[in-house]
């Protein structure tokens, strides 16, 4: 199950209490205070992991609490610090304060960490309160309280290429053809109810990731259909592949509507590299081929043709995806 938004509660560990004790040794009739400090409480730390692709684990476990610090002991022995609690989340997870909706962290890179709640400070033992005037303090500090927070975790998939199109445009069949992803495929609209992420092997040693996003319809950015739920995932992709079914009656309109839905949702999507790819070309007759040729001749951008069933154009399609992804990566490093 794909889960991309959850609400959780976290609490860092309380600090251990300081200890009150005095030295009691033979031949030392006036031993001084020797109570040790308490240990600090454990922190709550989020860790981004490229091995995770959903927030499903956090749907069933909503409360997280780090370990409490141990109390101090006699002979100036400090209490053990509480163990930090590490919470793994997928790369692309945004951590927000649930009350203010303030973005606290954007977990993009594998291994990136964010300390969401620091543990409570350990209390001082009576040994630290001894002075020349107050030589026998009979008190110690309690440990500091841990911090409680309610957070929203929101996942935006990170992919090199995002497949965007109307329902039944052939996106799911394509990703199942070029990667090991196994999305549900059927001949009715809105078969894809959740994004699918696949790793595409390229040539011998290279690879890139492709996201199959649920079908958009006109007005998706206003909440129509399923698109509004998943449009946020498009923001993380480097390249957009606009998949248009070759059997469509109006290619120009399809591309215009899809581009408008993307730009209406986020202006940042307008600047992303994109290209058009006609799907299901194995079903094209002479009239359809003529209409595709006319569209290609009038279109300023890149247009590809492919069939996931026959394999026609799949190699060229992967070449184009790889080229655009490499162009974006080079521009990001310059």
Q: What is the mean pLDDT of residues 241-249?
A: 92
Higher-pLDDT residue of 181, 33: 33
pLDDT of residue 225: 43
228: pLDDT strictly greater than 60:
no
pLDDT of residue 230: 62
221: pLDDT strictly greater than 70:
no
Most confident of 149-158, 165-174, 286-295: 286-295
Q: How many CA atoms lie within 13 A of 91 on its CB side?
A: 13
Chain Cα centroid distance, residue 181: 19
Most confident of 206-220, 262-276, 297-311: 297-311
β-pair type (85-90, 44-49)? parallel
- How many helical (H) and strand (E) elements, i.e. helices and strands, does the chain have? 6, 14
Q: What is the rounded distance in angstroms from the CA atom of residue 15 to the CA atom of residue 82?
A: 8
Which helix (H) or strand (E) segment is 239 a member of? strand 239-245
Mean pLDDT lowest for which of 36-40, 56-60, 190-194, 197-201?
190-194
Q: Tokens 């060229």 sit at which residue? A: 316
Q: Which residues contact 73 (CB under 8 A, 6 or more apart)?
A: 19, 21, 35, 36, 79
pLDDT of residue 36: 93
pLDDT-derived band at 6, boundaries 50, 70, 90: very high
The token duo for 334 is 């310059």
Q: Which residues contact 43 (CB under 8 A, 6 or more apart)?
A: 12, 13, 66, 84, 85, 115, 117, 118, 119
Higher-pLDDT residue of 16, 198: 16
Partners of 276 in beta bridges: 242, 303
pLDDT-derived band at 166, boundaries 50, 70, 90: confident
Q: What is the mean pLDDT of residues 100-119?
A: 94
206: pLDDT strictly greater than 60:
yes
Higher-pLDDT residue of 53, 216: 53
Q: What is the DSSP letter of 201?
A: E
189: pLDDT strictly greater than 50:
no
pLDDT of residue 31: 74
The separation between the first and the last C-alpha atoms of the chain, rounded to the nearest angstrom, is 38
Q: What is the mean pLDDT of residues 285-300?
A: 93
Q: How many CA atoms lie within 13 A of 263 on its CB side?
A: 11
Higher-pLDDT residue of 200, 204: 200
| Radius of gyration over every alpha carbon of the chain, rounded to an integer in angstroms | 29
4: pLDDT strictly greater than 80:
no
Domains of the chain, start order: 5-155 (2.70.210.12), 161-333 (3.40.50.300)
pLDDT-derived band at 314, boundaries 50, 70, 90: very high
The token duo for 293 is 């040729």
129: pLDDT strictly greater than 50:
yes
């Amino acid at each position: 199950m794909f889960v991309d938004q959850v609400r959780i509660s976290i609490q860092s560990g309380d600090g251990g209490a300081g200890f009150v004790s005095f030295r009691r040794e033979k031949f030392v009739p006036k031993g001084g205070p020797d109570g040790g400090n308490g240990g600090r409480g454990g922190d709550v730390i989020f860790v981004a992991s490229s091995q995770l692709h959903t927030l499903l684990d956090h749907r069933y476990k909503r409360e997280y609490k780090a370990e409490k610090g141990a109390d101090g002991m006699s002979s100036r022995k400090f209490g053990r610090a509480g163990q930090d609690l590490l919470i793994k989340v997928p790369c692309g997870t945004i951590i927000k304060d649930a009350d203010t909706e303030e973005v606290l962290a954007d977990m993009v890179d594998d291994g990136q960490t964010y300390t969401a709640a620091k543990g409570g400070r350990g209390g001082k033992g009576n040994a630290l309160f001894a002075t020349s005037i107050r030589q026998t303090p009979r008190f110690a500090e309690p440990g500091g309280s841990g911090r409680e927070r309610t957070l929203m975790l929101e996942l935006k998939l990170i992919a090199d290429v995002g497949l965007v199109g109307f329902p039944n445009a052939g996106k799911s069949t394509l990703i199942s053809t070029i990667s090991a992803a196994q999305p549900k495929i059927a001949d009715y609209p809105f078969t894809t109810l959740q994004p699918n992420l696949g790793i595409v092997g390229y040539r011998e040693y290279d690879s890139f990731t492709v996201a199959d996003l649920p079908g958009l319809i006109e007005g998706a950015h206003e909440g129509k259909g399923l698109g509004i739920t998943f449009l946020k995932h498009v923001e993380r992709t480097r390249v957009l592949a606009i998949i248009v079914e070759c059997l469509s009656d109006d290619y120009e309109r399809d591309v215009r509507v899809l581009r408008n839905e993307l730009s209406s949702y986020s202006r940042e999507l307008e600047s992303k590299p994109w290209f058009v790819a006609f799907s299901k070309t194995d079903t094209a007759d002479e009239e359809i081929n003529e209409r595709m040729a006319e569209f290609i001749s009038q279109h300023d951008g890149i247009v590809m043709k492919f069939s996931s069933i026959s394999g026609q154009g799949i190699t060229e399609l992967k070449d184009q995806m790889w080229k655009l992804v490499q162009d974006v990566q080079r521009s990001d490093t310059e």
